[in-house]
Structure 1
Amino acid sequence: MPRNHDGICSSALRCLSSGTSDDNEMRDRADNMVASSEWNRTKDALLKLITKRTRERLRTDAVEATREHLEQLHLDLSRLSVIHVAGTKGKGSTCSMVESILRSKGYRTGLYTSPHLIDVRERVRINGDPLSHDKFCRYFWEVHHALKMFSDDEQNDSQMPGYFRFLTVLAFKIFLSEPIDVAIVEVGLGGRFDATNVVSPVVCGITSLGFDHTNVLGNTIEEIAFQKAGILKPGVLSFTSPQRPNAMQVLEEQARQVGCPLLQAPPMSQCAQRDEVKASDIGLKGQVQDINAGLAVALSNAWLARNQAGPAKKEDLFVVSEGFREGLRSVKMLGRCQRLVFAPRSKFSTRNLEMSYYLDGAHTLESVECGARWYGSHVDTAQRNDVKQVANILVFYCSGDRDYKSLLAPLFELHRSHPFTKVLFCPNNEAMDTKGMTISSWTQLIAAHWEEETGRATEILENVNALVNALSAEANETLGLAKDSAWDLKANGDQLFAPHEAEEAEERSRAMVSKQEFNVYITGSLLLCGDTLEELLSRSLKPYEAKEWILKYSK
């Protein structure tokens, strides 16, 4: 689902470098005002391409329609060396790992993923970085004007593409215009009829399959596997993560019919190691990343062999090759097992206080199970390090097409081992009425199930703004701060946002001050994680810089 959270802060840019002159800062402010106006115009045009807010069925003509748009723009995809990845769980993580591995090997990469959390520029990255606002706008309008000309022509049956298809065409335009060696492309939905399925890939991958988008892809694992297998191409080496037997049977049968070799990639921990990497070394956290990394290793090796004009030897495909370690260690993604640390804006006697947001957009049973284990391990680690945890709050929401009882089950288990001090339910900002129920009624239904199972009262917040207000107020009261105390981004994981924070951390360490941590765990919806992250960054002292830093850090 598209996101309307890409605005640039209206205040002038503050330069992070202390040596910037007043003249340069004034020029930056003027440039930012112009950029903001153009960016808002681009956002508005992009949002007008949204045709429906929910997916009711697969568009079987999406592939052919995308090909038509590519022809209209004279874009020749045969010039791209593509790695194409489908799946239910972990396809974004796998794509990000492949991109990071190949970039660490010295190749220039293009990455196309979806959805985005806080900025549409997240979807298209060159060498790990999102495009600048200026460059994104320039490419956007080149594509938009050209396609609009065809759609306005009464002699032509062509129509403007919808949101996702337009972004897919735009990504290919960018990849063909920028000097890249490889394009890693994530399927949007399904595979067989997805707009990305216009590529002729060098190698394909299918991540773990499960039940998601069943209203569109089918209610059985066999139906879902059939849709995912649609990306397999004749003669193209393909890999799959370990699957359920009935899903694997479908994939193997489809591969046989298409005429492509299909190999099962083992978890990374079972691969041969030339560059020793442990599962705990992977930048993306959670036990499931061992499986995703195994597929990423196989895809990377296959592409490297093909790029070096040599046949891919089977014994070399499942090897953590030299140089892979750095790529796997440095990979990051927004909203997937991500810890964001905030500190009070006051610099007086508050250096031992932290508010940690644990964001995990898991929205399938298996993913929520993995996320719950990840969060529980963080709580355990903090306890071993004598960190006083003054709050342990769960925030949950899931869309109406998901089985909320199933998704809450792992969280009940987590609650039994690591009791939540409070449980909040809050819809994302773009939540829609579903199943004949209002958003309010749906949220109340989820909350009632938690209360029935645990015997504990819950709270419902109307929107993300109210959620962050409530959490900040409770943190201030719990930690003895002024009611209106503000919180600023301090770190993403272990990397510090502001240089002066490193000095503060050292001082705190020397003083052996016991740290107090206010924990918030948000899961069930990637959109809720994105809205919360956007809201938190907008309240920072330097919102623009904080947002850009987060986008850069997630490379």
Structure 2
Amino acid sequence: MLIILRKMVLNVPGIRSASTIPSYDEAVKALNNLQSNAAYLQNVKTHNSATNTNLKDTRKYLLRSGITMEELDKLSVIHVAGTKGKGSTCAFIEAIIRKHGFITGFYSSPHLINVRERLRINGQPMPEEEFTQSFWKVYESLDKKKEHDTDMPQYFKFLTVLMFHVFLEVKVDVAIIEVGIGGEHDCTNIVRNPVCVGITSLGLDHTMLLGSTLESIAFQKSGIFKENTRAFTVSQPKEAMTILERRAKEKHCDLSIVTNYQSYNWRNGPPTLSIQSKVQWCNASLAIDLSKTWISWKTQNPNFGNDNGNNTTAPSTVTNQLNNNTTSSTEVTRDLLNASDSSTQRKILNISNSKLQTKLNSSNSASESSLEKLQCSSTISFEKVAEALSSCKWPGRTQILCGKSMDFYVDGAHTIESIEFCVSWFKDVTRNSPERRYLIFNSTGARDSLKLLKPFRTLSFEKVFFVPNVAGTISKTDQQNFSVTTQEQIRRCQWHCEIWGDGSTFANSVSEALERIKKDSSENSNLTNKPQVLITGSLHLVGAALALIDPDLTMTTNY
């Protein structure tokens, strides 16, 4: 499988061979059966018991699947948490680092159409054959070793274990990992030595799991901070920033606020982002600072992860050695290579880290900033950064698709803050436009529907459709959701209709809503322009819509 995946990385057609393993569709069905059911999720929310064993369970399943923690340490990781924009930030990071010639692995959630979107090599979702082979290899290994009938990792946890297998086998230069929920107890947080970590904008979401205040949210998200690791965050509300700074200090983690997007060393001014909306500027800044840190580290450690016996140092440790004025990184690396055994190497690192910590404690932020610019200036190309940011594709986020019968404005906003940004973006891009506007909306979980819907009142919609996350005319196994049943979604949609009142209606699927919009438009023959359809409230709803209007995620539509 490694040979096949490496061929995929190098854009060489893979070798397809006859196999008796079950099909891709069967793999997705087996994966779906690992989804947490609604009753289980409610128990977690009520008692908050499962999260406390999440990391322990993930390590257990990882070991059962054939990977030790020491082997996992060979992955060079960038870890990103946050409430809003962590997927976009990771997509920007992936594009920047790939543009500099490195092999990237990118793990994200949720997927829009195909589950393979969650595991990307060099920006491309895993091909079906390779995904299927990897899936059954890990699944069968875990199934054989289970101690009782339900002793299997749940959906996201299984995919996380699978991701580690794939990225290690392909030997990606960097693993860009988006946190699932929270950070402190998220199963991706078994990573012990990330090169750097990032925190995107924080807000209230998943409050039954993470807490109902910004302070509690910040505490959970900062759980990805690791000792001697570089951390970056965008500007945060004061109460959140206080927690992030305190946690960074407790964990001996070097925390910085990112540079203003317009202040980088752009040759021709800041590039226009491919993901529209000014709110993405802070995500791009976070991506740039994380990419700069990783590329700088990689330049100093080109052979990290190779099985050559010399590579026992954690990436985060070496990253911080680069910031030390008292002990040069060249001297440390030379001493490590000359050490006779791992014990001697650890002593060298302990001495170096001690000197480093003393230096960091006495440094001011200005000198650190200058040193960072100095160390990165020769390793990152802002021309390549600009190209990456302007060409990065991340469907379903402030996305415009101009079709034959209507124009679509698609955004996966699902928190109060992101909904407000979505409304602002939609106003901007449809300003002075006389077309009829329609809203297709859904929201699941314990979110406050009244607050989520309020910002949309400022927009003049001809009609508002409340729709479950169902495409309608097609049925993809990848989009089955056992955590929230369709019946539960229908009840919530009907409640949304009651909240909105006049001008709202229920539709059984996205397809039904679009057909009704078509009919409404055709009945108004005096209209010369296409209707404008805003689809938002849930990334799962966005996925169902894109399965209809852009099933191959080409960023275009003929609908």
Preserved contact between residue 37 and residue 483 of structure 2 (Cα < 8 Å):
no
Name the CA distance, whole Å, in 2 between partners of 1:372 and 1:176.
41
Q: Secondary structure at the match of 1:184?
A: strand
The answer to whether the 8 A contact 1:202-1:237 is kept is: yes
- The secondary structure found in structure 2 opposite 1:294 is helix
One-letter code of the match for 2:124? D
The answer to whether 1:464 aligns with 2:510 is yes
Matches within 5 A, 1:86-235: 86-151=81-146, 159-199=151-191, 200-235=193-228
* Most deviating of 302-311 and 317-326: 317-326
Structure 1 letter corresponding to 2:465: L
Task: Tell me whether 299-308 or 61-70 shows the greater mean CA deviation.
Answer: 61-70
Whether 1:365 and 2:416 are equivalent positions in the alignment is yes
Does the 8 Å contact 1:100/1:128 carry over to 2?
A: yes
- For 1:183 and 1:74, the matched residues in 2 are separated by 19
Show CA shifts across 1:176-226 (max 9, x none): 111321110000000010110011200010111100000110011111111
Partner of 2:79: 84
Match of 1:446 in 2: 496
Amino acid at match of 2:142: L
- Separation in 1, partners of 2:483, 2:119: 30
Residue 341 of structure 1 deviates from its aligned partner by: 2.6
Which residue pairs with 1:18 in the alignment?
A: none
Q: CA 1:330–1:394 in structure 2 vs 1: closer, same or farther (change >3 Å)?
A: same
Give the SS at the match of 2:88: helix
AA matched with 1:339: I
Matches within 5 A, 1:240-259: 240-259=233-252
Identify the residue that residue 312 of structure 2 maps to in structure 1: none
> Which residue in 1 is equivalent to 2:530?
517
Give yes or no for contact 2:436–2:462 (8 Å, CA) kept in 1. yes
Identical positions, percent: 37
Partners of 1:272 and 1:439 lie apart in 2 by 45
Q: Does the residue aligned with 2:406 lie in a helix, a strand or coil?
A: strand
State the AA in 2 paired with 1:110.
G
Cα pair 2:32 2:481 within 8 Å, conserved: no
Counterpart of 1:160, as a letter, is M
Query: Could you tell me whether the CA contact under 8 Å between 1:361 and 1:529 is conserved in 2?
Result: yes
Question: In the TM superposition, what whole-angstrom CA distance separates every residue of 1:511-536 from its partner, at most 9, and x where no partner exists?
Answer: xxx98322110111111111122133
Q: Distance in 2 between matches of 1:314 and 1:301?
A: 13
TM-score in terms of structure 2 length? 0.75
2:295 pairs, out of 293, 304, 316, with 304
Q: Equivalents in 2 of 1:235, 1:215: separation in Å?
A: 31
> Please, which moves more after superposition, 391-400 or 113-122?
391-400
Which deviations, in whole Å up to 9, do the C-alpha atoms of 1:448-500 show, x marking residues without a partner? 3323xxxx4221213334223323433444469xxxxxxxxxxxxxxxxxxxx
User: What SS class does the counterpart of residue 465 from structure 2 fall into?
Assistant: strand
CA RMSD of aligned residues (A): 3.0
SS at match of 2:440: strand
Per-residue CA distance 1:216-239 (angstroms, 9 max, x = gap): 100111111111111000000101
Change (3 A) 1:457 1:468: closer
- Any gaps of 5 or more consecutive residues in structure 1? 1-30, 344-353, 384-388, 481-513, 538-545
Specify the code of the residue in structure 2 equivalent to 1:38: S
Q: Does residue 1:38 correspond to 2:33, yes or no?
A: no
Cα pair 1:276 1:325 within 8 Å, conserved: no
Secondary structure at 2:180's aligned position in 1? coil
Conserved 8 A contact 1:98-1:300: yes
| Aligned length in residues | 450
Mapped to 2, the partners of 1:36 and 1:520 lie a distance apart of 43
CA contact (8 A) 1:111 1:128 kept: yes
Q: Aligned pair in 2 of structure 1 residues 478, 138: CA closer, same or farther (>3 Å)?
A: farther
Q: CA deviation at 1:432?
A: 8.6
How does the TM-score come out when normalised to structure 1?
Answer: 0.75
Corresponding residue number in structure 1 for 2:4: none
1:260-271 superposed matches below 5 A? 260-269=253-262, 271=263
Give the Cα separation in 2 of the matches to 1:38 and 1:473: 40
Residue 431 of structure 1 and its aligned partner are, at CA, apart by 8.0
Matched residue type, 2:467? C
Say if 1:400 and 1:442, in contact at 8 Å, map to a contact too: no
From 457, 460, 463, the equivalent of 1:422 is: 463
Larger mean Cα displacement after TM superposition, 111-120 or 457-466: 457-466
User: Could you say if the C-alpha distance between residues 52 and 339 of structure 1 is closer, same or farther in structure 2, counting changes exceeding 3 Å?
Assistant: same
The answer to whether the Cα contact below 8 Å between 1:233 and 1:260 also exists between their aligned partners in 2 is: yes
* 1:329 alignment partner, one of 385, 390, 407: 390
- Checking the alignment, whether the CA contact within 8 Å between 1:203 and 1:303 is kept in structure 2 is yes
The Cα shift of 1:33 comes to 13
User: 1:426 touches 1:461 (CA, 8 Å); kept in 2?
Assistant: yes
In structure 2, runs of 5+ residues without a counterpart are 1-15, 301-318, 324-367, 471-479
- Higher mean Cα deviation, 164-173 or 68-77? 68-77
Distance 2:425 2:202 in 1: 21
CA contact (8 A) 1:95 1:184 kept: yes
Deviation at 1:267, TM superposition (A): 3.5
In the alignment, residue 134 of structure 2 is paired with which amino acid?
Y
Q: Distance in 2 between matches of 1:373 and 1:36?
A: 49
For residue 519 of structure 2, the aligned residue among 449, 469, 473 is 473
Structure 2 residue 59 is matched with structure 1 residue 67 = yes
Corresponding position of 1:375 = 426
Distance 1:396 1:267, change over 3 A: farther
Q: Which amino acid aligns with 1:471?
A: I
Partner of 1:79, secondary structure, is coil
1:341 aligns with 2:398: no
CA distance in 2, matches of 1:307, 1:340: 38
TM-superposed CA distance for 1:241, in Å, is 1.0
Contact 1:218 1:224 in 2 (8 A): yes
Structure 1 residues 320-329 or 208-217, which shifts more? 320-329
Aligned to 2:406: 355
Structure 1 residue 370, shift from structure 2 partner: 1.3
Work out the CA distance in 1 between the residues paired with 2:431 and 2:175: 39
